Structure 1
Amino acid sequence: MEKLTIDAFKSMMRFALTNITERAEELSNLDAVAGDGDHGTAIVAALNAVMKAGESGVEFNEMLGNMAFGTMEESCGSTSTLMGAFFMGMADASKGDALDVKEVKNMFRSGLNMLQTQTKAKIGDKTMMDALVPAVEAIESAEGDIVEILNKGAKAALVGAEKTIAMKANFGRARHLGERSIGTADPGATSWACMFESFSKAIEQYV
């Protein structure tokens, strides 16, 4: 696939919503280790708002902007704020109804850059960034078509999420546990890894 179309992107998002919904209980259980145990519920609500707001979009900038505002208007705490920032950044770097490989890379990088204005978390802090940053960096450095670069991003996100099991949390309520936060995966990293894996699988099926 040489270009990512609007319809293909919507398929990616629908598949992500389906898979994360199926894992909502698992994600909330991970969050309950040190948080308030609602991450599964929150990210499902945020993604439902994303899909509702962006489903009618016919052009990337408009669609992604609507997705950003849609999720930020949903009351999901930091989940909706951070996801909204990511989609807003993606919107800023996208135009038209189809994106080539370079434009897809720029879209994800712009999303990450915008998100990083909302959080100081970085790789190693046991947060969603442990999956998201490696995913975007892998997409940027990958060679090949849309399918290949998203596959590389998914693999990097999954590895990043797995690494959080051995990490001590430095953000959120989990940071108060200190060494006791070691031994379970971060729910945010896990959900974003699931999202990127869903993107990759959806686009393979779409071709």
Structure 2
Amino acid sequence: MKQLTIENFKAMLDTALKNIKEREDEFSKLDAVIGDGDHGQAIVTAMSAIVATAQKGTEFKSMLNDMGFDVMLQVSGSTSTLLGAFFLGMSDHAAGTELDAAGVKAMFAGGLANVQKQTKAQKGDKTMMDALIPAVDAIQACSSDDIKEILEAGAKAALVGAASTVDMKANFGRARNYGERSIGYADSGATSWSCMFASFAQAL
């Protein structure tokens, strides 16, 4: 697959929402270990707003921009802020109605860069960054010009990253108050973001 069309991207988002909805309870149960147990509901609500806005999109830049702003305006909380930042960052590095491999890489790199302006969390802090950073790094490092292969590399890295949070101690947000008790469970945010990246690859 040499070009990612706007319709491909909408299908990626639809698949992500479907898969995230199916795992809503799982994400909330993970969140309940060291948080307030609402992450499943939060990410379903945020992704639903994103998908609704994306339906109206006709080209990448304005669609991604609208998705990012709308989710932050319609849904409160850190989940929507970070997802919003991700898509807003993407919009700064995407244009037109089709993206080639270099365009897809630039779009995801822009998304990560903007999220990093919102959070100081690094890899190893047991947050969604443990899925997002490896995913975008793998997307950049993939030498293929086949977009499906590039997104599969990102998905694989995100899933490995999320799994690695099981052995980590939480260093951010309220979760850090739990210290050693946070070890033994995957981070809910890393798990849901890895589900999103896996869904993107699956949709293609």
Q: Deviations over 1:104-148 (max 9, x none)?
A: 000000000001000000100000000000000000010221010
Q: Deviations over 1:32-62 (max 9, x none)?
A: 0011100000000000000111211110001
Q: Deviations over 1:64-104 (max 9, x none)?
A: 01110111012330001111000000000000000000010
The aligned counterpart of 2:111 is 111
The aligned counterpart of 1:164 is 165
Q: Using the alignment, how far apart are the partners of 1:175 and 1:17 within structure 2? A: 29
The aligned counterpart of 1:134 is 134
- 1:33 is paired with a residue whose SS is helix
In the alignment, residue 15 of structure 2 is paired with which amino acid? F
In the alignment, residue 176 of structure 2 is paired with which amino acid? R
CA RMSD of aligned residues (A): 0.6
- Is 1:51 equivalent to 2:51 in the alignment? yes
Q: Using the alignment, how far apart are the partners of 1:85 and 1:101 within structure 2? A: 22
Share of identical aligned residues, percent?
Answer: 60
Normalized against structure 1, the TM-score is what?
Answer: 0.97
- 1:2 is paired with a residue whose SS is coil
In the alignment, residue 187 of structure 1 is paired with which amino acid? S
The aligned counterpart of 2:67 is 67
Q: Using the alignment, how far apart are the partners of 1:132 and 1:189 within structure 2? A: 7
Alpha-carbon contact 1:43-1:76 (below 8 Å) kept: no
Could you list the runs of 4 or more consecutive aligned residues of structure 1 that deviate by over 4 angstroms after TM superposition? none
The aligned counterpart of 1:185 is 186
Alpha-carbon contact 1:50-1:71 (below 8 Å) kept: yes
In the alignment, residue 91 of structure 2 is paired with which amino acid? A
- Is 1:78 equivalent to 2:57 in the alignment? no
Q: Using the alignment, how far apart are the partners of 1:66 and 1:191 within structure 2? A: 22
Q: Using the alignment, how far apart are the partners of 2:75 and 2:196 within structure 1? A: 20
- CA drift of 1:4 comes to 0.3
- Is 1:198 equivalent to 2:199 in the alignment? yes
- 2:52 is paired with a residue whose SS is helix
Task: Number of aligned residue pairs: give it.
Answer: 203
- CA drift of 1:191 comes to 0.2
